[in-house]
Amino acid sequence: MAYELHYWPTIQGRGEFVRLALEAAGADYVDVARGTHDGEGGLMGRLRDADDPRPPFAPPFLVADGMTIGQTAAILLFLGPRLGLAPTSEVDRLWAHQLQLTVTDFVVEIHDTHHPLGPSFFYEDQEPEAKRRAEDFRRTRMPKFLGYFERVHARNPAPGGFMVGAELSYVDLSMFQLVSGLGYAFPKAMRRLEPTIPGLIGLHDRVANLPRIAAYLESDRRIPFSVEGIFRHYPDLDG
Amino acid sequence: MAYELHYWPTIQGRGEFVRLALEAAGADYVDVARGTHDGEGGLMGRLRDADDPRPPFAPPFLVADGMTIGQTAAILLFLGPRLGLAPTSEVDRLWAHQLQLTVTDFVVEIHDTHHPLGPSFFYEDQEPEAKRRAEDFRRTRMPKFLGYFERVHARNPAPGGFMVGAELSYVDLSMFQLVSGLGYAFPKAMRRLEPTIPGLIGLHDRVANLPRIAAYLESDRRIPFSVEGIFRHYPDLDG
């Protein structure tokens, strides 16, 4: 039975970390809100479903085997072994999940560069605050997170150049997405940082060239980056 | 062998969600940075340990069975079954973890009420921004998250009044901590919201009266709330 992915139909957002895993594995899945004409309406209906004993807090959520699973990192924890995108040992599975949770933390901070006052205000209502937060993000937080992931990549004792163990995992796909998204949102800052993260840049390029990922990126299933998602290119916030 | 918890020695912070689980289970553990005279120094040393192949990004982290495990929710995912504080079925274990990840999201937003411009600036350098973010937090985000958890509590089909299944789990302990912390940080807003979350308030009170938790709260192992941690009482941010 096909996996059902439920996410906002017009942005990559957090759903993209799940889409990349489904695509890399060639999994049978339906991107539900994109395929139905009520799009966001259907998604909101599910979120408000008063009968679900395990209601998700927010998209993305996955429906599989009669279960509804929310939270990006939890979805990947569940999908990883089924899609052949998780390490086999328990220790490394927990380690991959721990890295994914640090991706989650980073994604919040990336989002907060354009929404420092929170999700209730438009970007246009918090531009000076966004500028101040983004400047600090580029100077301290972006190098800190990327430097951490670069260190993890360099310390992986297994061959193959992956983040965890000797095989591709969902963590590698998430690194691809972070490098792509930051390159779109903060091109100047990324150009300056790139020489310090050769391992991540190499990994990004190898993931982009995996046959299934390359085909996905060419297809219209890959929603383009825009100023609606997590990674937004506002020239005022780069530098 | 005793569990080693590594966390900032002077605040409850994210470490408290782990401490509560260890205390509720009567587990043998050492709160390492609080017991050593170099406190934060030792903690920073471990974070910078260049030999660790699985380095944590930030505290808290747990050392157990030769593994170092970072990320609060991952620590609880690991500890839950060992401490008898997780459901037994796989479906409910994933559900408990999913709820804990939503606690993590809520904790970020609670923290950001006093740090909307990020962790690099002092509160004193972002007071007007904090006021604006906190007002929206009290009006929209706090009712949204608490309302969600109240709904989850109400929909749990099992008897006992717990969040997941019919037994105490780490999710219940986290609900206790959220209700306590929000009551400290936002007493006025909490007083207004309390009538809408009777399930969570009742759960908070029952957890506070569990013999081990009651003894812990009376002990000096429980660090008092202060204006240093996640939950901070700044009268300007309440209302």
A102–chain B Cβ distance below 8 A for any pair: yes
pLDDT at A37: 66
A23–chain B Cβ distance below 8 A for any pair: no
pLDDT at A215: 98
pLDDT at A46 exceeding the cut of 90: no
Q: Tens digit of pLDDT for each residue in B55-70? A: 999 999 999 998 999 9
- Among the partner-chain residues A102, A117, A120, the one whose CB lies closest to the CB of B116 is A117
Q: Tens digit of pLDDT for each residue in B94-132? A: 999 999 999 999 999 999 999 999 989 999 999 999 999
Tell me which residue of A116, A189, A107 sits closest to B137, measured CA to CA: A116
Residue-averaged pLDDT of chain B:
95
The CATH number given to B3-83 is 3.40.30.10
Across-strand partners of A5?
Answer: A31, A62
| Residues of chain B found within 8 Å of residue A137, distances taken between Cβ atoms | 118
pLDDT at B48 exceeding the cut of 90: no
Peptide bond into B116 cis (omega under 30): no
pLDDT at B50 exceeding the cut of 80: no
Tell me which residue of A133, A4, A153, A132 sits closest to A65, measured CA to CA: A4
Report residue A20's pLDDT band, with 50, 70 and 90 as the boundaries. Answer: very high
Architecture in CATH of A90-237: Up-down Bundle (1.20)
How large is the average pLDDT for residues B167-178? Answer: 98
**A 164-223 near B (Cβ less than 8 A):** none
A147–chain B Cβ distance below 8 A for any pair: no
DSSP annotation string for B151-214: HHHHH--STTS-SSTTS--HHHHHHHHHHHHHHHH-HHHHHHHGGG-HHHHHHHHHHHTSHHHH
Contact yes or no for B171/B99 (Cβ under 8 A): yes
The residue with greater pLDDT, B43 or A131, is A131
Cβ within 8 Å, pair B120-A136: yes
Give the number of residues written for chain B: 239
B54–chain A Cβ distance below 8 A for any pair: yes
Across-strand partners of B5?
Answer: B31, B62
Cβ within 8 Å, pair A118-B129: no
Q: Longest Cα pair distance anywhere in chain A, in angstroms?
A: 52
Tell me which residue of A235, A224, A153 sits closest to A188, measured CA to CA: A235
Tell me which residue of A11, A24, A27, A12 sits closest to A178, measured CA to CA: A12
- Among the partner-chain residues B57, B121, B148, the one whose CB lies closest to the CB of A148 is B57
Across-strand partners of A29?
Answer: A3
How large is the average pLDDT for residues A118-122? Answer: 91
DSSP annotation string for B73-101: HHHHHHHHHHHT-S-SSHHHHHHHHHHHH
ipTM of the complex: 0.96
The domain segmentation of chain B, as residue ranges, is: 3-83, 90-237
For residue B70, give the 3-state DSSP assignment: strand
How large is the average pLDDT for residues B203-232? Answer: 97
